[in-house]
Structure 1
Amino acid sequence: MAIDWRSRVLDEVGAQRPAMVTALADLIRTPSQTGTAAEHEAQAAMASALAADGLEVDHWELPLAELRSDPDFPGTEAPRTEGWGVVGRLPGSGSGSDGGRTLLLDGHIDVVPPGDPATWTHPDPYSGELTATEVRGRGACDMKGGLLAARWAVRALAATGVPLAGDVLLASVEGEEDGGLGTFGLLRRGWTADVCVVPEPTALDLVPACAGALTFRLRIRGRAAHASRRTEGVSAIEKLVPVLAALAALETERNVGADPLLDRWGIAYPLSLGVVRAGDWASTVPDLLEAEGRLGVALDEDPAVAQAALEAAVAEACAADPWLRQHPVEVEWWGGQFASGRLPSESDLGERVAAHHHEVTGAPAATWAGPFGSDLRLLTGLGGIPTVHYGPGDVDLAHAPDEAVPLAEVEVTARVLALLALEVCGPR
């Protein structure tokens, strides 16, 4: 009698729930902010966990100097002197003509800072607090819930001993939040696959495309003077005002006719400033302002075209202002540089994931594109790996106070990914 591996694997997912819920809470309690020592500690713990799950583990130090000198390096923002990659491999027995295809599940372990703790309802942003329906804390949604769901799926496959023809790979990566260092590093190490799912928070919807995001810095120079004689100086803060107006107009212009996949968002390609620094003394007219922000890149747009559009808008604002005409704003492109990315039209990966989602939940999965940058663009663009996002949690909670992820969605993701692995990698 043929073994019903699908039922066995799904039963194992159910049996593993208590252990996996505890593991998720523990993972959230490690404050693995991008570029910190805790990020590396979380990677080491993940490597040990994957080995305990029965996977072959590659845990290596990223060659930062080599990667930074690569012309395709995606950039970073957080200072770092080290980085680590982790890939767990559940090996299959064959490849190519005998059906042994490889599935990659790629998730980032780094998180953004929690912000002001006073804005959180829960006193500790890294509490990993469990309720009957969710787990709370920074990174729960973005994206430790998804990373844990991927581990849950692969652990169930390993525990049943299903004889796969192809490999299942689980990558835990650093540095996604500020550019994609970890996924870039695993591609340059030679890891590849036939298809990939990145379980970013999509609320169990299907996301086959993501817009890009380019980090920029503006330097506006004024002329210092004593505040009592402010008219003898030129305030760099005041000179930001016409530049802000130009950027707002540019954002409006760039969002005309946005791709319909982004219709669910109020603004498909946001342009915003996130950091503004100016002045060094309350009674001195500030002679320098630095502003840092992000420019949304349209789907299928060359990032160089987006950069040129912002530079032209800033130059036009300077040309209309007598001071800025003589002291033009300096534009610098730095930090994370996220191109847009899209699942190739000839790939049926989206349909396969959607079918397994329907099987598990009994409901269809909506399809949309993300207005944010992600590792999808590296996997599809540099790696040539058809990739989609599908995972637990609401993206509106990412980077926000009171971040949380529903436990039911984490389990559904694990079930869907396990079924996809059985289909892609195929029991012998």
Structure 2
Amino acid sequence: MEVRREQFRELAETLVSYSSYPGEERAVQTWLRDRLSDLGFETYTWEPDAELIESHPSFPDAETLELEGRPSVAGVLELGDPENGPTVVLNGHADVVPVTESDWSGDPFEPRWENGRLYGRGAVDMKSGLAACVFAALAVEEARHDVDGRIVVESVVGEEEGGIGAATAAASNPYPFDRDAVLIAEPSELDLVVAAEGSLMKRLQIYGESAHAARTWEGESVLPHFERIRQAFIDLERERAERVTHPLFEQFENPWPVNFGTVDAGAWASSVPASLTAEIRIGVAPHETIAEVEAEYQQRLDEVVAESGWLSAHPPDFERFSVQFEGSEVNRKESIVQSLAQVLRDNGIEPAYEGFTGGTDARHYLEADIPTIVCGPGSPDVAHKPDEFIEWEEAIEGAEIIADTVETYLRTQ
């Protein structure tokens, strides 16, 4: 199914031109809502539900999030008799991760074309995918085939912060109708992402005793204690990689990694470091709960503490912070998955079912019992990197495949 190529290109360019960092999405969302209206969509807008976010287990530090003035927007197209058919949501996010401009070859928010690629922050993650959803929906409408139902194109905020807009949409439906399936066009090289890893974020704080650097024996450095804890966690990571298995994650050398993302210790070069704070991200398999994994790491920490007289007397703190989420997995027998797989086969592409080692907004919709698949154009390998880009022919192919998937899905329900 063909899409409006020139308008697709223009929409993607304009989306990329907005520096829509987390908390700064309002301008691009306002522009997109108006553009959707111009294109014939009925539009909806919703803000993050502060009470919902604050009580949601994914956001233990909700008070640190900026929630006001961050609209998510959607456009709805009705086909045939919409009450006689299903509703499929095409989802993308408007926020992008921050940039260090000196690492880029040019202005990250000045879209540029080079050798068939669109460059710019968000070009692949995921403004081209969002634009593909818009024109896929329009292509289905313009085909004027005999199908009933609704297509919703959804642009949410705060995906990079754990899915603020999607969590609200999934848990408190912003539409006056039910949703039957969701396709999220995150970059996957058009592979079918049917499972995703969860994430446990923990902050470790260790306490020692300061002393003059010329008399280190009078103090208690936190560094040896940290190294023992770090090594114990690395050992557990290795054990879990062998013990906790999932067929879609066997390709990864380290499927449930532990990453010590930040470590801050000491206050002065001439003083024994008496405090250390480390922020740690721990991978969670799709079939595990955060609580189960947290308990494993807590037990391993307790073992290290029990072997140390100092740590037993001055126990470390080990608390959740930032964003938490369970892994997720959709049943391959769901109609939206089967429809997409069939369209790929029809286009000469053997469906590749994949597990993703990061998180996506799919989990929020799956938690709301809405079958959700992740599949979109572009490579996740260049997401979040300097000189982010998407191969434009793949973006077009992705939009056309999404359009065919929506029509196939609507016909088969």
Return the TM-score normalized by structure 2. Answer: 0.92
Structure 1 residue corresponding to 2:156, chosen from 154, 164, 173: 173
Contact 1:91 1:164 (C-alpha < 8 Å) held by counterparts: no
Contact 1:150 1:413 (C-alpha < 8 Å) held by counterparts: no
Cα deviation per residue 1:302-352 (whole Å; 9 max; x = unaligned)? 211011111112222222233222222211112111211111254143222
Contact 1:146 1:200 (C-alpha < 8 Å) held by counterparts: yes
Distance 1:208 1:43, change over 3 A: same
Shift of residue 280, structure 1, vs aligned partner: 2.8
Contact 2:194 2:374 (C-alpha < 8 Å) held by counterparts: yes
Larger mean CA deviation between 317-326 and 207-216 belongs to 317-326
Residue correspondences, number:
407
Shift of residue 389, structure 1, vs aligned partner: 0.9
Instruction: Say what the alpha-carbon RMSD is for the aligned residues.
Output: 2.3
1:287 aligns with 2:274: yes
Cα deviation per residue 1:264-302 (whole Å; 9 max; x = unaligned)? 222211111112222333322222211112111112112
Alpha-carbon distance between aligned partners in 1 of 2:304 and 2:103, rounded to the nearest angstrom: 37
Distance 1:255 1:53, change over 3 A: same
Which amino acid in the other structure matches residue 199 of structure 2?
A
Alpha-carbon distance between aligned partners in 1 of 2:251 and 2:111, rounded to the nearest angstrom: 31
Alpha-carbon distance between aligned partners in 1 of 2:397 and 2:97, rounded to the nearest angstrom: 25
Which amino acid in the other structure matches residue 155 of structure 1?
L
Which amino acid in the other structure matches residue 136 of structure 1?
Y
Identity of aligned residues (%): 32
1:351 aligns with 2:343: no
Alpha-carbon distance between aligned partners in 1 of 2:116 and 2:46, rounded to the nearest angstrom: 36
Shift of residue 123, structure 1, vs aligned partner: 3.2
Distance 1:119 1:317, change over 3 A: farther
- Any residues of structure 2 matched to 1:266-285 within 5 Å, and which? 266-285=253-272
Shift of residue 75, structure 1, vs aligned partner: 5.0
1:203 aligns with 2:186: no
Which amino acid in the other structure matches residue 252 of structure 2?
W
Shift of residue 251, structure 1, vs aligned partner: 1.0
Larger mean CA deviation between 232-241 and 383-392 belongs to 232-241
Contact 2:140 2:404 (C-alpha < 8 Å) held by counterparts: no
1:222 aligns with 2:205: no
Structure 1 residue corresponding to 2:235, chosen from 249, 273, 283: 249
Shift of residue 189, structure 1, vs aligned partner: 3.0
Contact 1:28 1:139 (C-alpha < 8 Å) held by counterparts: yes
Which amino acid in the other structure matches residue 242 of structure 1?
R
Counterpart residue number, 2:134: 151
Structure 2 residue corresponding to 1:32, chosen from 16, 20, 23: 20
Alpha-carbon distance between aligned partners in 2 of 1:108 and 1:317, rounded to the nearest angstrom: 42
1:234 aligns with 2:220: yes
SS at match of 1:126: coil
Structure 2 residue corresponding to 1:45, chosen from 31, 40, 54: 31
SS at match of 1:197: strand
Contact 2:204 2:316 (C-alpha < 8 Å) held by counterparts: yes
- Any residues of structure 2 matched to 1:1-400 within 5 Å, and which? 10-11=1-2, 13=3, 16-35=4-23, 37=24, 39-64=25-50, 66-72=51-57, 74=59, 79-82=65-68, 83-94=70-81, 98=84, 100-114=85-99, 116-120=100-104, 122-159=105-142, 164-190=147-173, 191=175, 192-257=178-243, 258-360=245-347, 362-381=348-367, 383-400=368-385
Contact 1:55 1:158 (C-alpha < 8 Å) held by counterparts: no
Return the TM-score normalized by structure 1. Answer: 0.88
Shift of residue 104, structure 1, vs aligned partner: 0.8
Alpha-carbon distance between aligned partners in 1 of 2:92 and 2:47, rounded to the nearest angstrom: 18
Cα deviation per residue 1:72-101 (whole Å; 9 max; x = unaligned)? 5545676314132212111234356x4x01
Cα deviation per residue 1:138-183 (whole Å; 9 max; x = unaligned)? 2222222211211121233345555641010111111111211111
Structure 2 residue corresponding to 1:409, chosen from 394, 403, 413: 394
1:418 aligns with 2:403: yes
Distance 1:395 1:185, change over 3 A: same
Contact 1:125 1:402 (C-alpha < 8 Å) held by counterparts: yes
SS at match of 2:112: coil
SS at match of 2:108: coil
Distance 1:130 1:75, change over 3 A: farther
| Unmatched tracts of structure 2, length 5 or more | none
Shift of residue 217, structure 1, vs aligned partner: 0.9
Alpha-carbon distance between aligned partners in 1 of 2:375 and 2:167, rounded to the nearest angstrom: 20
Distance 1:145 1:316, change over 3 A: farther
SS at match of 1:90: strand
Larger mean CA deviation between 412-421 and 71-80 belongs to 71-80
Shift of residue 22, structure 1, vs aligned partner: 2.5
Distance 1:101 1:80, change over 3 A: same
Alpha-carbon distance between aligned partners in 2 of 1:180 and 1:75, rounded to the nearest angstrom: 13
Contact 1:163 1:427 (C-alpha < 8 Å) held by counterparts: no
